[in-house]
Structure 1
Amino acid sequence: MKIGINLIPLRPGKNGGMEVYLRNLLEQLFLIDNVNQYYLITAPYNDSTLNYSAPNCKKLRIHEGRGLIDLTSGLLSKFIPSHTYVDDPMTRIIKDNKIDLWFCPFLSLDPRPLNIPSIVTIPDLQHEYFPDYFSKEELELRRDYIQPSCEQATKIITISQFSKQSFIEKLGIKPEKIEVIYLAAGDNFGKNTDDQKKILNKYNLPEYYLLYPANAWPHKNHLNLIKGFNHYKKIYNDSLHLVLTGSDLKNNIAINDLISQYNLKESVHILNYIDKGDMPELFKNAKALIFPSLFEGFGIPLLEAMTVGCPVIASDTTSIPEIADNAAYLFEPTDPLSICDAIHKIVADEPLREELVSRGKERAILYSYEKVARMHLDLFTSVYNQYKDSNNSLKNECHYFHGLYSDGWFSKMKFVYCGKKRFRHLHIDLRSELPVKYPMKISIILNDKKINAIIPSLGIHSFDFEIPDIETTNTEYKIEIISKYSYSPKKLGINDDERKISIILDSLIMIDFNENSTEYVQRKVK
């Protein structure tokens, strides 16, 4: 089997825990699998960091001219490439190298649509829970890319049962399409070293500190941590220090201003990015890992700490209780006093510390990157075998929606079909339920031809269009429906729905030249 892996989104040092996942996964895959051929699709900014000696690994570098959309935010740095169906260089790579299976480990299935089986790793749907942490552009891009990626991929890998449930509830993805593969601490955390003094001297650190490794992203909750730490220092007059590691911390105005406001400059140490080999010693020497994150799809530092015998205090939210189980002392992350109490508990209660260390080591044994790699390889194999055994007539056909919510509401949506069918007629049913001013103006764009229309009143309204024939072996149909205005039901006083929506898609039916009709709808609205 020829497996293509899209590594274009990898920005060394900026992808947080997903970079740890990717690099450890590749190392283990090349150790356990000498049968399949791997094609790593790289970019100029990451190619030199992806060197593997495995004979079944080949790198193919794409040049800068591809047009990358920068989705860097205060969260995972994501670079979702723009793409076209015909001329995209990755599409050519897939075709020229006869790739059998396509794997995208960073959030988005790209390119798409694809005529081969595909797997995408999406760690979580944080933007659905904390949309305010994203700019409007970032939010639109993530919603435009994640939903169609989920719908078009053969399988979705996510990293916790919490995240799997998010896909089911937020996007309406079928449970059987989602595979949960837990992550692990990197192999460097399993090595025995004795460089404690050397590491402390290297970074000019005290011996008595809490450690929090996290980039300066809003959901990492640094501000509440600093507030809680300040409470602890004032109440207990302790010499405890706080060590923060992660990119852009030194440049974060809000974090640094709060440290100055509380006169904590001597007690809070900001190290920014740390060498990979130094992190285990920073964990080993810490009094505890403190992990106040508001949202995690997994939380790799939890296992890193447990692996080296560092006790853990952490948030009681999202996937963290699932991953930590009984091996962490949990607190309410939005309450600085709860954080303060947890700090005091882990510092003052030695039996608790010893118990958490013991439970943590038992917990960490359950996770390894060899196991992660084997689960990926098993999934690659099963997906490809199912594809080979499937009906050939279905192999070159795919369709997807984006911009359409799982309950049918939208303000701007797109439907794309790629395959060998040729359609002659389009039928659309739109339902209007909002008590707003009518007529409502909409535009329907069919293969780049724009048609202006109106929704005259409440109720169901039907639209029919003849489709110009496309005489090619592989056709692509694009249908966009755009409402001129969108509304928030909450602002209209209807309910608590804060989405910007306009109308509901009841049905979208395509009729081919043999008068066979196919209804493509994300979900029927009853």
Structure 2
Amino acid sequence: MKAEAYVAPIPVDTNYYIPRPNDWKHKPGLVVLFTGHLSHPPNVDAVLFFLQEIWPLVHQQCPQAIFQVVGMIPAKLIVEAIQSNPQCELHENVPDIRPYFWDAAVYVVPMRYGGGVRQKFFEAWSMRVPVVCTTMAAEGTGAKNGTHCWLEDTPADFARRVTAVLQSPKEASVAQAAKNQVESYNSIASAAPKFQALVERAIQIKKQRPYKLLYDLRWMELGKAGGIEQATYELVAAIGQLDRKNAYRIFAPRSACTEWDLPSGFQIKRHYSDPLSRQFEVARSFVVNKLAEGFGMYPVLTPPMRSLAAYNKLDFDIVHSLAGYTHPDMIGFPGVLTINDLQHLHYPQFFTQDEYAERERLYRESAERAMHIICISEFTRQDVHRQYGIPLEKMSTVWIIPSRNVWQPLSSSARVDLLKRMNLSSPFFFFPAHCWLHKNHARLVDAFSRIVSELPADIKLVMSGRPFSADHPAALMIRDNNLSSRVMHLGFRSPLEIRALFQGCLALVFPSLFEGYGMPVAEAIIAGKPVLCSDVTSLPELAGEAALTFDPTNVDQIATSLFDVATKSELRLALSEAAVRRRPVFSARRSAIQTMSIYQRVYNECYNC
């Protein structure tokens, strides 16, 4: 979309920048004044130009005149030049600039390039100090030569005009006209309505164009974030199937998303957060700052400026953070936050003290600052409301999307072959989960050990995910109860092998103590398999009537559920039929549309659409 350009008047507080008070004790001498940020390259050039080519001519005609340079962080070149010129003073980092204007007989702006917003002009005009400047310096101010200020471009002409103003009060008559100009166009009362009109126009333009959304995925290191990685990919891919209007950006490690197969026509750009990219930016900043240092200037690319440049490169309107917290450097941007769970508040014993403190700090602040929160289950939404006091209307429940692969049935021969390669040729219960303690492996193994002698001899308990450590409670129980022939841990498996395990199992068993969602339950239902799962947190919400539930802390209940499903074919059939009926609630399209509507709502709220 073509940009529209408008001019907003620069406001100046005319109640603060006032003319010299009647009781002001004027400093002796004729003061020529320059003010500004004294490391800003155009200002550095202006001061040096004045000292080297104009001031000697002025000093020759008015030896009693004083040149004052006032501003913050003076460059080394300015300090040295002022020290080597007669009747020159440097006043740096002053708390109040007005007394220097009140002492000044003339204000000079000898700039040859740059110029910024010309704030210094309006301050001088508001304080009724006559201004001599270059034509370039006055561009955009509405200044008329001889009416509001004096425009002089050669050193000789500039020096003659400064001398004339110093020597003849009549030449200072432009100051009152300039004061009137500021009051009419640049006072707050005058400028504010014009600026408001431009803001309203910008909002109108914003309404007319699509939003640009950034997925902040810097946390996504392959294999370390569990199912969130796959769920994030499925969400982005599902939105890509539907949205051809809005634009999307991904900010992630290079390895995390380069192999994502996203639909053609989906407007998405990738930006990489790898250390190599960051090191390049730091090295570039180092070179630029060294060049600035060589010219006697302060650093040009400071860390805040590098951050601003990075944000500008990402080019987004709103950011979606999907890992439960918003990255600290994105906390101030309009944002959507996905919270998966608040497990640390329910089971702090599963976290180190530092992990707990960091998670709580990030989660709480992120929840409070987000414009809208997506919770991956209604249980999580209600939990965030209870724990953090976030209003329910600020949150929406959107289920995460299971892998598209689980919808694709394997042929019987392929499934059997894959299972044989894993030494599985008999019925088995399947439990896919990392070895985290809240997954409750030990109680499941204990329950299985209590009924193993009553089950058909070929039924096994099969687990996948991160292998147990030697001292894991479940590993100890397997050894102590001689269950190695009936309990198998397969470790990590490929997506194809996981599909075979889901589609070939007798039933999914999922005894987790805490879940924000519970992806394996959704995947088993999509596969049409019976589900045995805990009756806590989000799991009943997901499973509906397609599961046999139990108290995950009650080993006897877990054992009974395993035994009933293993020995009652009619129960398995009823649960399988219920699973097939429940499949549609896990539609990727449904979750994608819900998420896109939240993006649009936040965009509209942010830009007052």
- TM-score by structure 1 length? 0.67
CA distance in 2, matches of 1:139, 1:343: 35
CA distances 1:205-243 after superposition (whole Å, capped 9, x unpaired):
232100001111111000111101111113446431011
Q: Which amino acid aligns with 2:213?
A: I
Q: C-alpha distance in 2, partners of 1:10/1:327?
A: 32
The one-letter amino acid paired with 1:169 is R
Q: Given residue 147 of structure 1, which amino acid in structure 2 is its aligned partner?
A: R
Q: Distance in 2 between matches of 1:235 and 1:27?
A: 46
Distance (Å, rounded) in 2 between the aligned partners of 1:89 and 1:282: 49
Aligned residue for 1:8? 218
CA contact under 8 A between 1:313 and 1:330: conserved in structure 2? Answer: yes
Q: Structure 2: which amino acid aligns with 1:27? A: A
Tell me, in whole angstroms, the C-alpha distance in 2 between the residues paired with 1:51 and 1:86: 35
Q: Tell me the SS of whatever aligns to 2:304.
A: coil
Shift of 1:11: 2.3
Distance 1:327 1:47, change over 3 A: closer
C-alpha separation between the residues in 2 aligned to 1:159 and 1:45? Answer: 26
Structure 1 308/117 Cα, relative in aligned 2: closer, same or farther at 3 Å? same
CA distance in 1, matches of 2:442, 2:380: 25
Per the alignment, residue 506 of structure 2 pairs with 287
Q: Deviations over 1:127-160 (max 9, x none)?
A: 1111111110110010110000001111111111
What amino acid is the match of 2:317? Answer: D
* 1:222 and 2:222 matched: no
Structure 1 residues 104, 304: closer, same or farther in 2, change over 3 A?
same
* Equivalent position SS for 1:314: strand
2:477 is paired with a residue whose SS is helix
Would you say how many aligned residue pairs link Structure 1 and Structure 2?
373
**Residue deviations 1:334-367 (CA, integer Å, cap 9, x gap):** 1221111000110111111111111111112122
Distance in 2 (alpha carbons) for counterparts of 1:45 and 1:88: 27
SS at match of 2:215: strand
Alpha-carbon shift at residue 200 of structure 1 (Å): 0.8
Alpha-carbon distance change, 367 to 47 in structure 1, aligned in 2, over 3 angstroms: closer
SS in 1 for 2:546: coil
Counterparts in 2 of 1:361 and 1:86: CA distance versus 1, 3 Å: farther
Of structures 1 and 2, the one scoring higher in RCO (CA 8 A, sep 6+) is: 1
Q: Which residue of 2 aligns with 1:272?
A: 491
Bigger-Rg structure (1/2): 2
| One-letter amino acid matched to 1:207 | S
In structure 1, the residue matched to 2:89 is none
Q: Specify the code of the residue in structure 2 equivalent to 1:17.
A: G
1:192 corresponds to which of 400, 409, 430:
409
Letter in 2 for 1:281: A
> How big is the shift at 1:178?
0.9
Larger mean Cα displacement after TM superposition, 199-208 or 149-158: 199-208
Distance 1:42 1:365 in 2: 31
1:380 aligns with 2:380: no
Partner residue of 2:52?
Answer: none
- Give 1:63 deviation, angstroms: 2.6
Deviation at 1:387, TM superposition (A): 1.1
Mapped to 2, the partners of 1:47 and 1:367 lie a distance apart of 24
2:467–2:491 Cα contact (<8 Å) kept: yes
Q: Is the 8 A contact 1:44 1:64 kept in 2?
A: no
The answer to whether residue 581 in structure 2 is matched with residue 371 in structure 1 is no
Matching residue of 1:29: 239
- The 5 A counterparts of 1:70-149 are 87=304, 92-112=309-329, 114-149=331-366
The change in CA–CA distance for 1:370 and 1:93 in structure 2 (over 3 A counts) is: farther
For 2:529, the equivalent position in structure 1 comes to 310
Q: Does structure 2 conserve the Cα–Cα contact (< 8 Å) formed by 1:105 and 1:121?
A: yes
Q: Is the 8 A contact 2:416 2:425 kept in 1?
A: no
Counterpart of 1:341 in structure 2 is 560
Provide closer, same or farther for how the CA distance between residues 27 and 249 of structure 1 changes in structure 2, counting only shifts above 3 A: farther
Higher helix share: 2
Alpha-carbon distance, 1:94 to partner: 2.6
Deviation digits for residues 354-397 of structure 1 (CA, Å, limit 9, x no counterpart): 1111111111212211211111111111110121117xxxxxxx
CA 1:262/1:102 → structure 2, altered by over 3 Å: closer, same or farther? Answer: same
Q: Secondary structure at the match of 1:87?
A: helix
Contact kept? 1:40, 1:60, Cα under 8 Å: yes
Residues 430 and 505, structure 2, Cα contact 8 Å, conserved in 1: yes
- For 1:90 and 1:353, the matched residues in 2 are separated by 57
Q: Name the SS for the 1:301 alignment partner.
A: helix
Residues 318, 90 of structure 1: CA spacing in aligned structure 2 closer, same or farther, 3 A cutoff?
farther
In 1, are the aligned partners of 2:550 and 2:561 still within 8 Å (CA)? yes
Query: Any unmatched runs of 5+ in structure 1?
Result: 68-84, 391-526
Cα distance in 1 for residues equivalent to 2:229 and 2:583: 20
Q: CA RMSD in A?
A: 2.2
Report if aligned partners of 1:88, 1:111 keep a CA contact under 8 Å in 2: no
Point out the structure with the larger strand share. 1
Offset of 1:204 from its aligned partner? 1.7
Q: What residue ranges of structure 2 are gaps of 5+ in the alignment?
A: 1-210, 280-301
> Which of 40, 58, 63 is matched with 2:274 structurally?
63
Give secondary structure in 2 for the equivalent of 1:325. helix
Q: Secondary structure at the match of 1:205?
A: coil
Secondary structure in 1 matching 2:520 = helix
CA contact (8 A) 2:459 2:486 kept: yes
Contact 2:221 2:253 in 1 (8 A): no
Q: For residue 140 of structure 1, what is the amino acid of its counterpart? A: A
What is the CA–CA distance in structure 1 between the aligned matches of 2:479 and 2:305, rounded to whole Å? 50
CA–CA separation in structure 1 for the residues paired with 2:348 and 2:498: 31
Instruction: Give the letter for the 1:18 counterpart.
Output: I
Question: What is the CA distance between 1:308 and its match in structure 2?
Answer: 1.3
Aligned pair 1:164/2:374, yes or no? no
Match of 1:57, as an amino acid?
Answer: I
Contact 2:318–2:333 (CA under 8 A) maintained in structure 1: yes
Q: Is the 8 A contact 2:470 2:476 kept in 1?
A: no
- Asked if 1:182 corresponds to 2:410, the answer is no
1:252 to 1:299, Cα distance in 2 relative to 1, 3 A: farther
1:216–1:252 contact (8 Å) kept in structure 2: no
1:90–1:111: 8 Å Cα contact kept in structure 2?
A: no
Output the CA distance in 2 between the equivalents of 1:267 and 1:18: 31
